[in-house]
Amino acid sequence: DSEESSFWSRSDEYLLKTGVPYSPIIVTKAQGTRLYDAEGNSMLDFTSGQMSSLLGHSHPEIVQVVRDSIGELDHLLCNMITHPVVDLAERLGRLLPRPLQKSFFLNTGSETIEAAIKMAKCYTGKFEIVAFSASYHGLTQGAGSATYTAGRKHGGPAMPGHLVFPAPYAYRSPFRKPDDGGSYDWEAELEYGWSLIDRQSVGSLAAFVMEPILSTGGILDLPAGYLRRMSEECKKRGMLLILDEAQTGVGRTGKMFAFQHEEEGGGVVPDILALSKTLGCGLPLAAVCTTAEIERGCREAGFLWLTTHINDPLTAAVGNKVLEIVERDDVCGLAAERGAQLRAGLLKLKEKYWCVGDVRGKGLLQGIEIISDVTTRAPGTDIGHAVSDRAMELGLSCNIVNLPGMGGVFRLAPPVTVTPEEIEEGIRILDEAFAHVLK
């Protein structure tokens, strides 16, 4: 109709395009697990709004806290701290395993990585930053230089001192042994990775930045014991371990923080933890958490971070409510339970459709890898896109992630508001989409 065509012509004329094409769907309301258009048609959102609204869209208590806060307190001078900010730092500090204890608050994931990289450089006095070949840590210049899925191919050279480490891609790794039942020698690959780093490095290794599950890189779960080994290797080289839990943090994987899944050797605590997306449940809130010792070292080295919206009271009030709900409503347990149901449904699709090569992930962060050939495991890029388009038409929003030029991995990351019936509905839509594309 004319209102809709005017929407598109106005967007063409005035809204800057920043890369990927805009979606043809105009969402006018987002509630719980569903998105609605102006006619009241709904679709399931298995992306949680770019993985941010783990508690569901427009959670009534989050809406209320925004309403209450905005009338009382808005942003102040950036060195003026407020009650909601100190409350949030304390709440987070109590949730974090020691020695992690201290946090400050920003807006986006990219920003947390910029800050974490800067802190690591200040603290260690060194400058090299290592990241996985399937990493995504943001698209600003520093974070983008550590983003090997997308960040480095625009606007001239990446920042100097960024080194790449082979991601543990069990399904496709050259260290997978098809002759040996497909077993995966991640320890040999890890050693090989460090041999590459030791050759690339000029001897100034400051930090390794990684996700505990490489989400955009294809839902690559670190093998059990891997994180522990990485943490030891970083310590050995005097580097910090920065964990980016933008997507995995605050309950999505079934634990408060995904690094808590690592049980080997008494577990692992990162030196710096970056949280964003889920912490703000749809609002721009992010946190950088570290130890008192690293904080002290950074200050001595002159670390400065004083962006305008640092420690913002409105989003901090939201963060307090998010953490309150996550603890009170056992969101971790819920994510594990719903995640298990989602996974069971996806495994059935794997049995039914040859082009589903792999199902992986934890809790409500699941992925299915699409292939075009069962023997060679060649990426099924075209099938993936066709299935995703069809699923969208049938009312399921999920996105395709993975390395450019590789296959397609469907990321299924619904919010915890997803009901067992909605999970069945999502699986049924995917089933129908596969049947349609493969017919």
Q: Which residues bind ligand PMP (CB under 6 A)?
A: 108-110, 113, 136-138, 211, 215-216, 244, 246-247, 276
In the complex with ligand PMP, the residue whose CB is nearer, 219 or 331, is 219
Residue ranges with strand state E in 32-189: 34-36, 42-45, 100-106, 128-132, 162-165, 176-177, 183-184
In the complex with ligand PMP, the residue whose CB is nearer, 226 or 434, is 226
In the complex with ligand PMP, the residue whose CB is nearer, 164 or 383, is 164
Helix (H) / strand (E) containing 402: none
**Phi, psi angle pair for 253, to nearest 5°:** -90, 5
Cα distances from 263 to residues 55, 59, 225, 231, in angstroms, run: 27, 33, 8, 13
Q: Helix or strand or coil: residue 290?
A: strand
Taking the complex as a whole, the smallest distance from the CB of residue 46 to ligand PMP amounts, in Å, to: 16
Taking the complex as a whole, the smallest distance from the CB of residue 362 to ligand PMP amounts, in Å, to: 14
In the complex with ligand PMP, the residue whose CB is nearer, 356 or 365, is 365
Taking the complex as a whole, the smallest distance from the CB of residue 131 to ligand PMP amounts, in Å, to: 11
Show Cβ contacts of residue 12 under 8 Å, excluding neighbours closer than 6 positions.
none
In the complex with ligand PMP, the residue whose CB is nearer, 258 or 386, is 258
Taking the complex as a whole, the smallest distance from the CB of residue 114 to ligand PMP amounts, in Å, to: 9
Taking the complex as a whole, the smallest distance from the CB of residue 437 to ligand PMP amounts, in Å, to: 27
What is d(CA 261, CA 418) in angstroms, rounded to the nearest whole number? 23
Residue 409 backbone zone (phi > 0: left; psi -120 to 50: alpha; other: beta): beta
Cα distances from 334 to residues 16, 213, 373, 414, in angstroms, run: 39, 19, 36, 12
Taking the complex as a whole, the smallest distance from the CB of residue 103 to ligand PMP amounts, in Å, to: 17
Closest by CA to 166, choosing from 131, 214, 218, is: 131
Helix (H) / strand (E) containing 3: helix 2-14
In the complex with ligand PMP, the residue whose CB is nearer, 48 or 247, is 247
Q: Helix or strand or coil: residue 302?
A: coil
Show Cβ contacts of residue 101 under 8 Å, excluding neighbours closer than 6 positions.
93, 289, 291, 292
In the complex with ligand PMP, the residue whose CB is nearer, 312 or 422, is 312
In the complex with ligand PMP, the residue whose CB is nearer, 108 or 311, is 108
In the complex with ligand PMP, the residue whose CB is nearer, 323 or 401, is 401
User: In the chain, how long is the greatest CA-to-CA distance?
Assistant: 65
Show Cβ contacts of residue 351 under 8 Å, excluding neighbours closer than 6 positions.
none
Taking the complex as a whole, the smallest distance from the CB of residue 108 to ligand PMP amounts, in Å, to: 4
Q: Which residue is nearest to ligand PMP (CB)?
A: 109
Taking the complex as a whole, the smallest distance from the CB of residue 273 to ligand PMP amounts, in Å, to: 12
Taking the complex as a whole, the smallest distance from the CB of residue 426 to ligand PMP amounts, in Å, to: 21
Taking the complex as a whole, the smallest distance from the CB of residue 62 to ligand PMP amounts, in Å, to: 18
What is d(CA 224, CA 156) in angstroms, rounded to the nearest whole number? 38
DSSP-derived secondary structure for 159-207 = PTTEEEE----TTT-TTEEGGGTTEE-HHHHHHHHHHHHHHH--S-EEE
Q: Which two tokens stand for residue 220?
A: 């690559």
In the complex with ligand PMP, the residue whose CB is nearer, 69 or 276, is 276
